[in-house]
């Protein structure tokens, strides 16, 4: 309990604007792109079993990784990080009080090295969100672009058979594209500090140091 209290206090100081640990300065980079992910590798002097035990105690279960019934009931607890930790892997994200499908998540492997443990993985959006976003933008560009070209052509040629709602073909696709891009940028902006937050969390809980991934 005392250890968990110390972690929450340190992370609270981090959220309040305290200077981050030099080892996590890389996490201040611009948020991950739509496709690429930021790599991370940490080394802890603690054995794997102790690392798993500490992380399990310091995290609350993530409702998005649970059964539909558990997800419906919601994520119980108050710890600053949500996720799932096994003997060989982990998936973590920052607890937030609002919905953000574009949130940054850490997916990493846990492996022994010498007397300690290596945490190696990457920060990115949820795989489903990444794929859906790419498909959505591709659909808007291809289908919406065709609609836009047809509508523009009818206005240029002054076609007599032009429908009354042809203007929708001109305004609709650009508005959909702008809305989707704005939503994506807003979500990634809100998640811009989550990689450094989770990195700092792991460093504090596991007494870890970063390596060049």
pLDDT for res 146? 84
Is 19:70 a contact under the CB 8 Å cutoff?
Answer: no
Is 77:59 a contact under the CB 8 Å cutoff?
Answer: no
Q: Which burial class, exposed, middle or buried, applies to 159 when counting CB atoms under 10 A from its CB (0-12, 13-18, 19+)?
A: exposed
CA-nearest of 108, 134, 110 to 38 is: 108
pTM recorded for the entire structure: 0.69
pLDDT for res 38? 86
Distances (CA, A) of 158 to 144, 153, 174: 21, 8, 22
Instruction: Tell me the pLDDT of the chain (213 aa) as tens digits.
Output: 445 555 555 555 444 444 344 333 333 444 344 444 589 999 999 999 999 999 999 999 887 654 555 445 445 578 999 999 999 999 999 999 889 999 999 999 999 999 999 999 999 999 899 999 999 999 988 988 888 887 777 777 765 566 666 667 778 888 889 999 999 999 999 999 999 999 999 999 999 998 865
pLDDT for res 19? 39
pLDDT for res 191? 94
State the architecture of 2-125+190-211 in CATH terms: 2-Layer Sandwich (3.30)
Region for 62 from its dihedrals, namely left if φ exceeds 0, alpha if ψ lies in -120 to 50, beta otherwise: beta
Long-range Cβ contacts of 54-59 (<8 Å, 24+ apart): 54/3, 54/205, 54/206, 55/85, 55/90, 55/202, 55/205, 55/206, 56/85, 57/3, 57/4, 58/3, 58/4, 58/7, 58/201, 58/205, 59/83, 59/85, 59/92
Extents of the domains making up the chain: 2-125+190-211, 129-187
């Amino acid at each position: 309990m005392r250890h968990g209290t110390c972690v929450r206090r340190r992370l609270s100081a981090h959220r309040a604007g305290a200077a981050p640990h030099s080892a996590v300065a890389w996490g201040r980079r611009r948020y991950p792109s739509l496709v690429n992910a930021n790599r991370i590798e940490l080394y802890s002097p603690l054995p794997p079993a102790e690392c798993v035990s500490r992380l399990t105690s310091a995290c609350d279960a993530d409702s998005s990784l649970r059964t539909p019934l558990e997800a419906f009931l919601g994520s119980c607890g108050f710890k600053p990080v949500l996720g799932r930790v096994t003997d060989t892997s982990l998936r973590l994200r920052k607890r937030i009080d609002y919905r953000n499908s574009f949130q940054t998540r850490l997916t990493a492997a846990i492996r022994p090295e010498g007397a300690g443990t290596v945490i190696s993985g990457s920060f990115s959006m949820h795989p489903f969100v990444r794929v859906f976003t790419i498909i959505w933008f591709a659909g808007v560009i291809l289908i919406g672009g065709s609609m836009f070209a047809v509508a523009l052509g009818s206005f240029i040629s002054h076609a007599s058979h032009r429908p009354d709602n042809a203007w929708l073909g001109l305004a609709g696709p650009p508005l959909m594209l702008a809305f989707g891009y704005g939503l994506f940028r807003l979500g990634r902006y809100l998640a811009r500090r989550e990689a450094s937050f989770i990195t700092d969390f792991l460093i504090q809980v596991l007494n870890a140091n970063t390596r060049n991934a």
